[in-house]
């Protein structure tokens, strides 16, 4: 049981660190400024997040869920319907959900 918790805790840690890496290190100024109005800017941004989720989890299902949810959350932020704090909180909630789903998929 401890090994399982350690493994999935590590996956959660990687997903959260990866989220901030993709959001703040890999996101260009152009994407940050245009993802609210340019489909390809948003797609590039959310695809990078989906790729990271796939690399950590090995799941196309979770990567697809990340692409969809991240797009929805960022659209809410870009439209001014939520602030940056709610945006980041929702992204972290998604990462917790991905780990829970992954756990259910493999146990």
Q: What is the pLDDT of residue 2?
A: 67
Reading the block at residue 89, the tokens are: 């909180």
Q: Is the pTM of this model over 0.85?
A: yes
d(CA 89, CA 98): 14
> Among the residues of the chain, which ranges form H helices?
2-20, 29-34, 39-57, 60-78, 84-106
Give per-residue pLDDT as tens, 27-63. Answer: 999 999 999 999 999 999 999 999 999 999 999 999 9
Q: What percent of the chain has pLDDT over 70?
A: 98
Q: What is the pLDDT of residue 27?
A: 94
Reading the block at residue 51, the tokens are: 């790729």
Q: Pick the residue with more confidence: 6 or 26?
A: 26
At 3, is the pLDDT very low, low, confident or very high (cuts 50, 70, 90)?
confident
Q: What is the pLDDT of residue 45?
A: 98
Give per-residue pLDDT as tens, 54-102. Answer: 999 999 999 999 999 999 999 999 999 999 999 999 999 999 999 999 9
């Amino acid at each position: 049981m401890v090994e399982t918790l350690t493994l999935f805790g590590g996956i959660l840690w990687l997903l959260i660190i990866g989220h901030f890496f993709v959001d703040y290190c890999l996101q260009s100024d152009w994407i940050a400024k245009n993802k609210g109005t340019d489909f390809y800017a948003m797609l590039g941004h959310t695809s990078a997040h989906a790729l990271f989720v796939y690399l950590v989890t090995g799941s196309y299902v979770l990567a697809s869920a990340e692409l969809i949810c991240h797009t929805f959350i960022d659209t809410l932020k870009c439209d001014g319907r939520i602030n940056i704090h709610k945006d980041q909180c929702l992204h972290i909630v998604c990462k917790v959900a991905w780990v829970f789903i992954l756990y259910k998929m493999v146990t």
